[in-house]
Structure 1
Amino acid sequence: MTYVFRSMHTEPTARGREFGQQHAQKIHACVETYQVLFDRVATRSFDLRDLGARALAQIEAFAPPLYQELLGMAEGSGVEVVYLGAINARTEILAYLGAQLRGECSTVVRIEPFSGKPVAVQTWDWYAEFADLWLTWEIPHADGSLTTTVTEFGIVGKAGVNSRGLGVHFNILHHERDGKEIGVPVHVASRWMLDSCNDINQALQLLGSAKVSASSSLTLIAVVDNSSAAVSVELHPGGPGLVFPDANGLLVHTNHFLSSPAREGDTEPRGFPDTLVRYDLLTRRLVNRQGLTAQHVLAAMNSHLGSISAVCCHPIPGQPIAGQYATLVSLVIDVASGTLTALPGGPCGHPQWLAHD
């Protein structure tokens, strides 16, 4: 069952302190598990406290309220704030350490021409040792709006939705320019976008201003009245690229760049071509489909083709969990209502959510 936590405080420091007090054990576990991961994959020596401090400086400059939230979370949990900075920048630190990691996550969005109810679904694949270290966090704001995000304990956000008609899905990317420094953490950029933006143009401007040091695709979905739009913002150190749905409103994203010129420096297809297989499979299963629902998309994602690199992936039985990938969450976002449904594990574990027509 998905654990859902709703903050009671709207002031950032107090909200962070409350979250830290309520989840101290899980935050400690998340920091410790990332420390082990960094040690295992690093190709160079590193000082995690220094990297965390550098990340905090970026967070303070880009999103001051989230910096204050992390200070409160550190106070509440008893975890030194530099380590919270480090796990919020886990994508940037993994790139900085030169880790050779395959991509994770498959995203599908379908936009109808005259409907404000887009379909937006993704799988979140990550290391299996983090299977018990995520939650759904509901974050009320002083103006009455609400941000809801699926994230890891101690990390301010990831994929999610707000009550102002914006949602976001998340896919990691890898580029040859990644990892030269510690830039704005992409997880912070995603959460700050949900917290601070009222429409898709504001969101595009904010994400375009983020000086990132590691690549990710943030797929924005926007709804106003009976109009909707979607665009994948491919962030990388050279600046963002934009990918829009096809003529039928279908947008599929896995873990390779679809925009130029960034795709020329894409390292993913050479090392982990499963991203191309997943993209092709989902596109073929969903293109030109009429009346597409979240259940249809989850049924298309219920594929174990490629084994541990499948859309719905599982650790190899009998082998140590550490270092193996798994689909940790199947996530359905309803942007029109400002809500999301986080289904633990892959689509295959939720037959009631799979369309069979």
Structure 2
Amino acid sequence: MPPPLPLITAKGTPRKCGTTYGSVAASAIAANVANYMTRFAAAGIDAQQVHGYGALFRAASHQHAPRVAEMLDGVAEGARANVDEIYALNGRTELIYSAAGECTAIAVLGERSAGGHTLLAQNWDWHPDQRPYALLLDTTDERGRRVVALTEAGMLAKAGLNDAGLGVCVNMLGSTKDRRDGGVPYHVLLRSALESAHLGEALAAVCSVPRGASINLLMGQAYPAGTPGEAIDVELAPDDVGFLHPVDGVITHANHFETALARHDTLKYIGSSSFFRSSRARRLLGTGPVEEEGIRAVLRDHGGFPQAICRHDEPGGADADRTETLFSLVLDLDERRMSIAHGPACRGVEYHHIRLGESA
């Protein structure tokens, strides 16, 4: 069965991976850049300002995440796109979005999973008009590090995993500390985590750099047979970090802060389904061994419909507030496997499997 969205494969140095990706996906990247330029304009950010912010994001990325920055420069080169617009695209969260009612993520350690594997999963909920710009990016760099990630055309990563058995899921957060003026962009942080060989390196990559937007990373890693896997949730605000650890072998997260950083949470002032989705996911997982199908069942849940774990578009509302589950993912870190399906996840969809042990 073919993947549910385009799969782009690239090999070589970060620059080479970027240029290959950019050239293969040039038309989709151009369309997505044009789409976000329209969204920026609607938010009162004109083209000159977009380029100025993009230049700030590029400078911060080159300073703090140079390999990822080289890849993004390559994307612009390969797609023959304006490099500042590519960086603004990767900083679109900083520029126009605060926390929205989107994305529910799950981690299950081997001690709780029925098969003994470390599992991550999430629904990626986003504006339904963004569905045509989604793709899978499969890269193998000159060190042999292989990364497979769900992303949008012109970006380098959202949820994904690498051949070291490290995986990342992501939730948007909103903080009163968020700002537009620089820092390493949200999507560059995600790619930095996925480029890491182990959890400690991933934590250093995301915690040690300046940030402009809040982001939640649910990360896990499987280890060689006989060594239990690990998972940790990292809430990142521009000037602080909070951590959550597994409870009874499980972590769940939605779009609000659950650590002490909650004092700066913008959702407290507007409300959100996030405040029940994370807790509901924990309850639905139950107390016994968790089958992978049980995780998929949670991702199909309609409690709170339409603003449920399985999110459905609400016609008639403000366009900027529309959100739907675009894709549903399960990452088996021991098998180095991504299973991905079109959303909403309730529609009897089949999951396509990509295994990193197979040839790229």
TM value normalised by structure 2? 0.89
CA distance in 2, matches of 1:3, 1:320: 29
Offset at residue 320 of structure 1 (A): 8.6
Match for 1:223: what amino acid?
A
Unpaired runs of 5+ residues, structure 2, are 352-360
**Conserved in 1, the CA contact under 8 Å of 2:62 and 2:69?**
yes
> Helix, strand or coil: the match of 1:148?
strand
1:40 is aligned to 2:42:
yes
Assess if the C-alpha contact under 8 Å between 2:22 and 2:78 holds in 1.
Answer: yes
Partner of 1:287: 286
The percent of aligned pairs where both chains have the same amino acid is: 28
Within 5 Å, which residues of 2 pair with 1:123-272?
A: 123-179=123-179, 181-195=181-195, 197-225=196-224, 226-246=227-247, 248-260=248-260, 262-272=261-271
CA displacement at 1:232 relative to structure 2: 0.7
Question: Which residue of structure 1 lines up, in the alignment, with residue 354 of structure 2?
Answer: none
Cα separation, 1, equivalents of 2:94 and 2:318: 26
Counterpart AA for 1:329:
F
Distance change in 2, residues 1:319/1:279 (3 Å):
closer
CA offsets, 1:125-180, max 9 Å, x none?
11111011111111112222211111111001111101112110000101111115
**Mind listing any 5+ residue stretches in structure 1 that lack a counterpart?**
none
Partner Cα distance (1:142, 1:285) in 2: 43
1:222–1:230 Cα contact (<8 Å) kept:
yes
Q: Which among 317, 324, 329 is matched to residue 327 of structure 2?
A: 329
8 Å contact 2:252–2:279 — kept in the other structure? no
TM-score scaled by structure 1? Answer: 0.90
Contact 2:53 2:180 in 1 (8 A): no
1:58 paired residue number:
60
Distance 1:232 1:46, change over 3 A: farther
Runs of 4+ deviating beyond 6 Å: 43-46, 318-322
SS at match of 1:221: strand
Q: Output the CA distance in 1 between the equivalents of 2:99 and 2:258.
A: 19
Residue 61 of structure 2: SS of its match in structure 1?
helix
Q: How large is the RMSD of aligned CA atoms in angstroms? A: 2.2
Name the CA distance, whole Å, in 1 between partners of 2:243 and 2:336: 24
2: CA distance, partners of 1:64 / 1:304: 42
Which residue identity lines up with residue 268 of structure 1 in the other structure? L
Tell me what 1:88 maps to: 90
Aligned to 1:3: 6
Please, which moves more after superposition, 167-176 or 294-303?
Answer: 294-303
Give the match's secondary structure for 1:132: helix
Post-superposition shift, 1:38?
2.2
Tell me the secondary structure at the aligned position of residue 213 of structure 2: coil
Distance of aligned partners of 1:54 and 1:151 in 2 relative to their CA distance in 1, 3 Å threshold: same
Task: Deviation per CA, 1:57-100: give whole Å up to 9, x if none.
Answer: 11111121222222222122121100000011111112xxxx55
Q: Specify the SS of the correspondent of 2:229.
A: strand
Could you tell me how far 1:37 is from its partner in structure 2?
A: 1.9
Aligned residues: 344
